[in-house]
Chains A and B, each alone.
Chain A
Amino acid sequence: MTPRYDAIIVGGGHNGLVAAAYLARAGRKTLVLERRHVVGGAAVTEEVFPGFKFSVFSYVVSLLRPEIIRDLELPRHGLQILPLESTVTPLDNGDYLAGWADPDETRRELCRHSPRDADAAVVFGRLMHHMAMAVKPILAMVPPDPTSLSPGDLAGLLKLGGHFRSLGAERFHALHKLMTMSSADYLDEWFEFGPLKATKSASGIIGTFLGPRSPGTAYVLLHHYMGELDGAFRAWGFQKGGTGAISESIASAARAHGVTIRTGAAVERVLVRNGEATGVVLEGGEEIAAKIVVSGLDPRLTFTHLVESKELPDSLVEAVRRFKFRGSSGKVNLALAGLPNFTCLPGEGPHLRGAVSISPSVEYLERAYDDAKYGEFSRHPYMDIVIPSMIDPNMAPPGKHVMSVFVQYAPYNLNGGWTDAKREAFGDAVVDTISRYAPNLKSLILHRQVLTPLDIERMTGLTEGNIFQGELALQQLFFMRPAPRWAKYRTPIRGYWQCGAGTHPGGGIMGASGRLAAMEILRSTP
């Protein structure tokens, strides 16, 4: 029989949807199969408590590739990103450190703490911009295989080498430092004010089971600067209606191009005949044939769940076994009767329209990591707190609010395993720690949703609850993501492809993996 579809995308996360949209745009008959009742994967908005809507997992956006926004005309499909206006770090001495939307204001604020750092921050920001620029072409390229001698790969390597040469020595060296150093060491070379270093280095540990003093975290720091690429003011922002609305806009664009999206359709396995993918089987037994199957799931699921390892070379099976997931982040979603009152900035101010970062010092973050290293959740965790209802009132009933708290560290492999009791204890640690800075918080809490990495895994399928589908560690990037020789979105099974964040460049609501995968598929399949 002739397959009804040219392509089946397994998993309706944002990368799967992006890949589907690009394939359909090129005339491929495409079907997206999503296990849950909503599309979006980790970028979903749900009314967790009556009247209170949450970006349940992923909660801010910045990295979404501009070319995707253009190609898929996402604004026409509802993409509307409202700027996140500030980052405030409460200090233990009752003071605070703030970064505002207005650079001059930020500079004045920094001068309060360290005039030297205020100057350094300008140069640092410029360098980070240049570094992000230097990495941009790499994010947009299909990783060549350095061990291969095929013309395509050699050309890719030469292009890469040429790119590095074109950076010039100074920027190449700066990039090398960012790729290899710890975020704390890197920032020590620039700044003197502890809380500033801590707050900046925090973005180097997100989604990674490493502390700010662990080499490799400086790259994660850079990864989070990619969002500021298009210059202008588009740092981090909220999607109106939550991150689920981003997924919805991509899904809507995909449908407009003729993509069929089925929710509540869990794929049990991929059909493989004579080393070639021929379709999928759903839980319940329904078989759907397609010319190619594209997995948007993480590498563990893509290679050990959807297909049998006997179909794969041992080297790949081993590489996937070694691939580090190590989910280390939790999420606490709070429904509030009113606004928290931070003692460092009392009352309702602009700071509540931005992020509040619990990162008083690098040592604070490092000690939070020490707890997790030995299998406990951080007693005093790092937290990134936002109140989406301040920006988008529709997220909560009138006068009420939703608070989203991203938390590290909560190790997937907790000593003795996660239990309901331990989940609540973790939630208490989070609320207690915030209460040190906003004492009225506890009295405001109407509902509380606590998500451990285990919960994230159960709900989204993300292995070990890693929000990046695998750590952004140097040995898991570029041509090693997810595995050497299989970083070009292909798999050893003909007609079976991968497009998730577990492939290059991965991580964040970026969509780059989905787009690159689609490009590669269109380039190499009729």
Chain B
Amino acid sequence: MSAAGNGGAFDVVVIGAGANGLVAAARMGKAGLRVLLLERGESLGGQGAVMEFAPGFRAAPLGVDPGWVPPAVVRGLGLESLSADTADIPLSVAIAPGSFLTLSRDAGRAAEAIRTHSATDAAKWPAFTNQIHRLAGFLGELYQTPAPDVGLTSLGDMPALLGLGLKYRALGGEGMIEFLRTLPLSVWELLDDWFECGPLKAAVATGGIQDYRQGPRSGGTGFVLLHHLVGAPVGSMRGRLPWRGGPGAFTDALEQVARRAGVTIRTGAAVSRIMVRDDAATGVVLANGEEIATRAVLSTADPTRTLLEWVDPVWLDPEFMHAVGNIRYRGCTAVVMFALDAIPAFPGLASSDALAGVVSLTPTVVALEKAADAAKYGDVSENPHVELTVPTLRTPTLADGGKQVLIARVHYAPYRLREGATWDSTRRDALADRVTAAIEAVSPGFGAHVLHRVAMSPKDIEERYGLREGAPSQGELGLDQILFMRPVAGWGRHATPLEGLYLGGVGTHPGPGIAGGAGWLAANRLLEVRRSGKGRA
């Protein structure tokens, strides 16, 4: 224990009021700590935050998939009352203008739709969705415990490890092999193993490239598919059920829990530095120069900013800094938000219900791959992969006067462009025009419904959400950047080389889409250290 005065009015300062920051703060507040939660923006919720992108039109463009809240978090914070919308969230794909394939969450209905293209694929569909659900389920188990690591694993971890071992065995011989085989596999190969129907493969493959700057033919996209389906209902190929009450419901509930737990929340409070003395965090400095002393800091900002921008390098070992510097972010997602006077017609689309789910406009896996090729060389795809969602179908309150909101997610728009090129408004508008044209192609007259259009390049996403390189993953989901390798090798357990400094953001285990998962584990780690009396926290 190194001395750091009384540590000020707060036991711990949590940086960032996204899902992870709110969960961590609430967890520690409930444990009796004096917690200060700092948010640089004016609103809470981070990636799930709802913004008004045009007068009377609101959306959470990065929160289309609300993510999965681990049971421990639900129980620990008493979020049981928060319920998910049980309606269908289908995944559709445009085969050609006037023709769509819609995969309902109901395997029977999905198989029905598939049968018109391939009877054999239709027959395999239920087995496929069950297998994916089972494998993602085991991943979910890995995501609820600290990442096992050859270097760290101590006797104390053995019960947890043993539990995981048994759950793994519970997959059965076939399942165990399929799990190990699927992680390094490309989603392209995975789907070729199962299916023949092009559009079906193209639809499912979109799940393997979410916020990942690789094409479906690239190894590891099998894992990305599974990762984003952790906690998803069986049959769903694109994510989890939206919250009843809209994208903001989760954030609001967390804020209440946090406040009830005595957490002090300050918005518009951007951190500019973390104070360190004798290898231990002693407080934070805000952009306005205000210094806040504390005994511990838990940052949900990305690891690179937290460690390389906010901490004076003299306190960190060069090899560790080198490792942090090597974290790959590679934002490649852009979003275009449309304010519409009414739901445009999509000829051939089963029902407007489909628009409440995800509608991919990319009919073949090859087209997905070609969209990715451009990004490899720092170019924006000429024919980007576009997927649509109309959140107002589930949450009418997002738009005033019965109007509608349409969100288009766009791959690949690499944050890092070729030498000389920058993300200026020209390039952003050009991309938005391409997106509008792509929608117009399957929804003639779409343009006439557009009241407002707001596009966000990865650069804009970086600025608005504080996401490095505009990457919602805060560290791409490569197999070398997950579990005990996340954020960097050997530091998968939310502590850092600095006493009292913890990482609990999406950039740490278990990563994106696990709402509050990282914050929960980080808070637990901090509380353990505090209890053990070893080191300051």
Contact = CB atoms under 8 A, between A and B. Distances in A.
Q: Which of A164, A213, A215 has the most C-beta atoms of chain B within 10 angstroms of its own C-beta?
A: A215
A165 B177 CA distance: 23
A475 interface: yes
Given A169-B151, A322-B193, A473 B184 contact: yes
B219 A473 contact: yes
Contacts of B479: 180-181, 215
A324 interface: yes
Contact of A214 (B151, B177, B219): B219
Interface stretch (A72-80, A366-374, A391-399, A441-449): A366-374
Nearest to A324: B189
A475 B218 CA distance: 13
Contacts of B270: none
A170 B174 CA distance: 32
B151 A180 contact: no
A169 B219 contact: no
A147 B173 contact: yes
Nearest to B366: A374
Given A172-B150, A215-B218, A473-B184, A181 B480 contact: yes
Contacts of A215: 184, 214, 218-220, 478-480
Given A214-B219, A215-B479, A146 B489 contact: no
B219 A173 contact: no
Contacts of A381: none
Interface residues of A, number: 37
Interface string B151-180: 110000000000000000000011011001
Interface in B80-139: none
Classify the secondary structure of A's interface with B.
Answer: helix
B478 A169 contact: no
Nearest to A161: B150
Contacts of A167: 150
B193 A147 contact: no
Nearest to B488: A173
Contact of B174 (A172, A177, A315): A315
B220 A146 contact: no
B447 to A, nearest CB: 33
B326 A180 contact: no
A189 interface: yes
A185 B328 contact: yes
A177 B489 contact: yes
Interface in A440-480: 473-475, 480
B369 interface: yes
Nearest to A213: B376
A168 interface: yes
A469 B480 CA distance: 27
B151 A475 contact: no
A180 B219 CA distance: 9
Q: Which of A147, A164, A210, A374 has the most C-beta atoms of chain B within 10 angstroms of its own C-beta?
A: A147
A474 B218 CA distance: 12
Contacts, number: 89
A500 interface: no
A369 to B, nearest CB: 10
Nearest to B182: A475
A216 B223 CA distance: 13
Contacts of A311: none
A480 B214 contact: no
Interface string B368-382: 010001001100000
A194 to B, nearest CB: 13
Interface string B347-374: 0000000000000000000100100010
B184 A169 contact: no
A210 B326 CA distance: 23
A480 B151 contact: no
A99 interface: no
Given A177-B480, A180-B480, A214-B219, A370 B180 contact: no
B489 A173 contact: yes
A241 interface: no
B217 interface: yes
A432 interface: no
B177 A180 contact: no
Q: Which of A170, A180, A315 has the most C-beta atoms of chain B within 10 angstroms of its own C-beta?
A: A180
Nearest to B492: A173
A127 to B, nearest CB: 12
A147 B189 contact: no
A366 B489 CA distance: 28
B376 A475 contact: no
A326 B337 CA distance: 42
B490 A474 contact: no
Given A324-B189, A374-B366, A366 B376 contact: yes
Interface in A307-356: 315, 322, 324
A214 B218 contact: yes
Contacts of A189: 326
Contacts of B193: 322
A167 B490 CA distance: 14
B152 A169 contact: yes
A173 B373 contact: no
A373 B217 contact: yes
B495 interface: no
B185 interface: yes
Contacts of A146: 176, 180
A363 interface: yes
B177 A147 contact: yes
A473 B151 CA distance: 26
Contacts of B181: 475, 480, 484
Interface string A170-196: 101110110011000100110000000
A45 to B, nearest CB: 36
A480 B485 contact: no
Given A168-B151, A169-B152, A484-B177, A363 B377 contact: yes
B149 interface: yes
Interface in B188-245: 189, 193, 214, 217-220
Interface in A89-105: none
A474 B219 contact: yes
Given A169-B490, A172-B150, A180 B184 contact: yes
The 8 closest A-B pairs by CB, nearest first: A169-B151, A173-B489, A180-B479, A474-B184, A215-B219, A216-B219, A147-B173, A484-B177
Interface of A: 146-147, 164-165, 167-170, 172-174, 176-177, 180-181, 185, 188-189, 210, 213-216, 315, 322, 324, 363, 366, 370, 373-374, 473-475, 480, 484-485
12 contacts: A169-B152, A170-B151, A172-B150, A173-B485, A173-B490, A177-B489, A180-B478, A185-B328, A373-B217, A374-B366, A473-B184, A485-B173
Given A172-B151, A173-B484, 15 more contacts: A147-B177, A169-B152, A170-B489, A177-B489, A180-B478, A214-B217, A214-B218, A216-B184, A324-B189, A366-B376, A370-B373, A473-B219, A475-B182, A480-B180, A480-B181
